[in-house]
Amino acid sequence: MPGRFILKIISVGKHKGNLEIMNNNEPLFYEEYGDINAPPLIILHGFFASARNWRQIAKKLAEHYHIYLLDMRNHGQSAHNAIMDYPSMAEDIKEFLTYKNIKETNIIGHSMGGKIAMYLALNTPAIINKLIVVDISPTCYQHSFDAIIQALKSVPLSEINNRKQVDEFLSAAIPELSFRQFLLQNLVLNDGHYQWRINLGFFAANADNIIAFPSTLSLPPYLKEVLFLAGGNSNYIKEEDVYPLFPKADIQSIDNAGHWLHAEQPEAFCLVVNQYLQRS
């Protein structure tokens, strides 16, 4: 069957399957969890992340939903592409839905994934049933990824013998251990040599697109309900950014959590998500 997706099925619940590879120059990689007959739920990760960061959440939610964890372009095991902006990544999702013959789906999007989901909702509202945006707003932020990308670029990978050396090398520029460990998930061993799975040149060239949000001047607001779920210690979600485009937004927060609230408070995160998705 022709297509542009690489499928890795991990058996959880009733649905089981085998590895299936779809041949195309620019495949997306995804993992699939839960009963194939359950309502679909697509989870979109953030910048520098991948589907693997959401596996534990997927397993917790798979009791009620058929879950697809996607590696977005330039992330995880998906193909690299010089273009990485929200219109392009939203189009990737639309093509994925067409490939899976999904007419309407629930979506959870975190950070960059949340912006992809919001752009998709504003442009193609009919394909979304319920939407959960995790710790991000439809706005342009002022922070920069330059220092992080440069720190990763500066690692002398040809001289590296183990992951601990990379961690130590990055510690001066990136002092937070948990964030270094998150970034180090992009380090892979290939034929005895360490390399970055991500294309740092593409990341640098497109970082401004990730920080920004496309113009919405010609778009009507999204009139369905949306859950905006923030970390209690984070300030990424602001009402003045959300309500003009999502007037029926329900903004909630999870205590004792920052930007990665799904990793910091997974039980509380899944409780709120299930309550919202099962609300009529």
Please tell me whether residues 200 and 219 are part of one structural domain. no
Q: How confident is the model at residue 199 (pLDDT cuts 50, 70, 90)?
A: very high
Count of structural domains, the chain: 2
Distance CA 165, CA 151 (A): 14
Q: Are 37 and 66 in contact (CB under 8 A)?
A: yes
Same domain, 135 and 161: no
CB 76, CB 197: distance < 8 Å: yes
Output phi, psi for 210, to 5 deg: -70, -40
Question: Which domain CATH number covers 109?
Answer: 3.40.50.1820
Integer Cα distance of 267 and 59 in angstroms: 12
Residue 27: predicted pLDDT: 64
Structural element, H or E, at residue 114: helix 112-123
Region 115-127 average pLDDT: 98
Could you tell me which residues come within 8 angstroms of residue 171 by beta carbon, excluding any fewer than 6 positions away?
180
Residues 264 and 159 placed together within one structural domain of the fold: no
- Residue finishing a domain among 205, 233, 252: 205
280 band by pLDDT with thresholds 50, 70 and 90: confident
Q: Kindly give the pairing relationship between strand 105-110 and strand 66-71.
A: unpaired
Note the pTM of the prediction, 2 decimals.
0.92
Per-residue pLDDT band at 26 (split at 50, 70, 90): low
In eight-state DSSP terms, residue 198 is S
**Are 186 and 223 in the same domain?**
no
CB 73 within 8 A of CB 81: yes
Report the candidate in 31, 15, 41 with the shortest Cα–Cα distance to residue 273: 41
Give the number of other Cβ atoms within 10 Å of residue 153's Cβ.
Answer: 13
Structure-token pair, residue 154: 């500066």
Mean pLDDT confidence for 29-56: 97
pLDDT at residue number 17: 29
Same-domain check for residues 199 and 216: no
Residue 244 and residue 115 share a domain: yes
